[in-house]
Chain A
Amino acid sequence: MNKIRTLLTGLLALAVSTTVQAESIVVGGKNFTEQQILASMTAQYLEALEYDVEKKSGMGSAVLRQAQENGQIDLYWEYTGTSLINYNDITEELGPEATYKRVKELDKEKGLVWLEPSNANNTYAFAMRAKDAKERGIETLSDLAQAVNDGKELSFASNAEFYAREDGLRPLQQAYDFRFGRENIKRMDSGLVYNALRDGQVEVGLVFATDGRIKAFDFVVLEDNKQYFPAYALTPVVREETLEKHEKLDEQMNALSSLLDDQTMATLNARVDVDRQTIEKVARNFLKEHNLI
């Protein structure tokens, strides 16, 4: 009997001690390559700085944001435009600076702190195969709208999210005044859009501006000549409570943020999507190159 009691007390003590110790930083990430690289990079970086890190990657953006507001995620990389339009319902057109300032202000009220933005602007973009676009004489989104309105059957591949977002397809079609027919819109997993476009299964694809496959697969990005898309500066966003607990965290994350720009992100993304290196390895090599681990 006594033995059992000792055992139970021991187990209880163990449980308590692990829960106390488990006050780790939870790093989140969305469900596409760039975000998975960033989540892995951040986790490895913070681990090297001797934080206790837990990584939760691969979520839809709204789910991730909800989790951060609820305190289940401490830190992840968000895009300024996404927060402005989707989480804060601002439809005003703002420049990059103003966008950043506005979301910083608005999210502050929810206990979320926007650190220094990086120079990587991962805006949405429409891409076509370079050769195909040239033959059809399409360079801008207005050209595309014109072609669709002239009755050209152009099919479009999009991920699940973009189709229904407030800065997504419907308002874009309104802004440029055209409509893909319902059956010309093919929705699929984000990463498959690039393959579908390359293999000629669709004519137009939704891409991320910093994706390495745009260059590798010989796509052209159609110019957003009406400036429909806002700025999507990649920025670390951290919960205020987390920052209070870890004093140096903001400086450390800003150091990482200052290293990122469009070209860097495109290169890192290409290493995963084109060269087929593992996400962990790409993230680790980047950190090593910059002497962060």
Chain B
Amino acid sequence: MANLKLVTMSRWLILLGVFALGVWSQSSGLVDDFLFYWPDIRYLTGQHVWLTAVSGGLAILVAIPLGILLSRPAMSNYAEPLMQVLNVGTTIPTLAVLALSMSLLGIGTLPAVFGLFVATLLPITRNTYAGLKGVSPALLEAASGLGMSAFQRLIRVELPNALYVIFAGMRTALTINVGTVPLAFLIGAGGLGELIFTGIDLYDPLMMLAGAIPTAVLAVVVDAFIASLAFVVVPREVNPSRG
């Protein structure tokens, strides 16, 4: 009971703090300065979201089937080496991935989407694979015992049980994706990186923040969105977030 009171109180304190911060920044003219960049922020956030949605969406469409394919028994000889290749892929800095895709596809949106796609693909594939491999053998045996075909087993037993881990992979990958999109500016694809990099070049911290804050907010929103999606989609019985 006392614990609950403490929680409510600290919640109020935080809200009060945020309010005070708001008042302070308003009175110091910071908000007005910030609003100077509003048209830029709106335009660039649009581009930013578009880049994330397309590259992330494509990555999900490709990565999940790929992960499923790798986890099939027929692939068991190749899966591990292939996963190692993917692991190497993740260790290449994203900027290098973008630069490489630029040398293939020129400047602009196309190479940016491709580079981001590659960078997002790997974590999702790995989590899909790990999630499916992690399903308890007892469950699989029971499914076979019930006379399920391999496909039925995948759809009814393996996927529902792995879904939470797969969603965790998407969360990480897409949040990183949002945070990586600013680099796409360097190859002419726009996005909030324009404000961040120009702010760095001109030593204008406010301009930099005008790019960085919306980027951070976007990342949080994307993360929360997928988390709530997982909350709804993952079956109740195997969903840790539902307690």
Which segment of A41-49, A60-68, A232-240, A260-268 sits at the interface? A60-68
Residues of A contacting B33 in the complex (Cβ-Cβ under 8 angstroms): none
Within 8 A of B (CB), among A83-106: none
Which segment of A110-118, A159-167, A250-258, A272-280 sits at the interface? A159-167
- CB pair B185–A188 under 8 Å, yes or no, is yes
Residues of B contacting A196 in the complex (Cβ-Cβ under 8 angstroms): 107-108, 188
Q: Pick from B39, B106, B185, B201 the residue with the most CB of A within 10 Å.
A: B201
A157 to B198, CA, bound (A): 14
Take A199-B106, A201-B106, A201-B107 as given contacts and tell me if A188 and B186 are in contact as well, using a CB distance cutoff of 8 Å.
Answer: yes
Residues of A contacting B188 in the complex (Cβ-Cβ under 8 angstroms): 157, 186-189, 192, 196, 201
Residues of B contacting A186 in the complex (Cβ-Cβ under 8 angstroms): 108, 188, 190
Within 8 A of A (CB), among B170-197: 185-188, 190, 194, 197
Q: Pick from B43, B107, B187, B190 the residue with the most CB of A within 10 Å.
A: B107
- How many of chain A's residues touch chain B, expressed as a range? 20 to 34
- CB pair B187–A63 under 8 Å, yes or no, is no
- CB pair B194–A187 under 8 Å, yes or no, is yes
Residues of A contacting B187 in the complex (Cβ-Cβ under 8 angstroms): 188-189, 192
The reply to whether the CB of A195 lies closer than 8 angstroms to some CB of chain B is yes
Take A188-B186, A192-B188, A196-B107 as given contacts and tell me if A161 and B194 are in contact as well, using a CB distance cutoff of 8 Å.
Answer: no
Smallest CB separation, A110 vs chain B (Å) = 15
Smallest CB separation, A167 vs chain B (Å) = 12
A182 to B47, CA, bound (A): 12
Residues of A contacting B190 in the complex (Cβ-Cβ under 8 angstroms): 186-187
- Considering only CB atoms, which chain A residue lies closest to B39 in the complex? A182
- CB pair B185–A63 under 8 Å, yes or no, is no
Residues of A contacting B185 in the complex (Cβ-Cβ under 8 angstroms): 160, 187-188
- CB pair B198–A160 under 8 Å, yes or no, is yes
The reply to whether the CB of B207 lies closer than 8 angstroms to some CB of chain A is yes
The reply to whether the CB of B141 lies closer than 8 angstroms to some CB of chain A is no
The reply to whether the CB of A31 lies closer than 8 angstroms to some CB of chain B is yes
Residues of B contacting A31 in the complex (Cβ-Cβ under 8 angstroms): 201
The reply to whether the CB of B151 lies closer than 8 angstroms to some CB of chain A is no
Residues of B contacting A157 in the complex (Cβ-Cβ under 8 angstroms): 188
Residues of B contacting A182 in the complex (Cβ-Cβ under 8 angstroms): 39, 43
Within 8 A of B (CB), among A50-80: 60-63, 65-66
- CB pair A192–B107 under 8 Å, yes or no, is yes
Smallest CB separation, B47 vs chain A (Å) = 9
A61 to B202, CA, bound (A): 7
Within 8 A of A (CB), among B97-150: 106-108
Q: Pick from B43, B186, B198 the residue with the most CB of A within 10 Å.
A: B198
Smallest CB separation, A209 vs chain B (Å) = 20
Residues of A contacting B204 in the complex (Cβ-Cβ under 8 angstroms): 62, 164
Partner of A163, one of B43, B186, B198: B198
Residues of A contacting B202 in the complex (Cβ-Cβ under 8 angstroms): 60-62, 161, 164-165
Residues of A contacting B43 in the complex (Cβ-Cβ under 8 angstroms): 182
Take A186-B108, A195-B107 as given contacts and tell me if A63 and B201 are in contact as well, using a CB distance cutoff of 8 Å.
Answer: yes
- CB pair A62–B203 under 8 Å, yes or no, is yes
Residues of B contacting A195 in the complex (Cβ-Cβ under 8 angstroms): 106-107
A-B contact pairs, 10 of them (CB 8 A): A62-B203, A63-B200, A63-B203, A66-B203, A164-B198, A182-B39, A189-B187, A192-B186, A196-B188, A201-B188
State the 5 A-B residue pairs at the shortest beta-carbon distance, nearest first: A60-B201, A188-B188, A62-B203, A160-B198, A161-B201
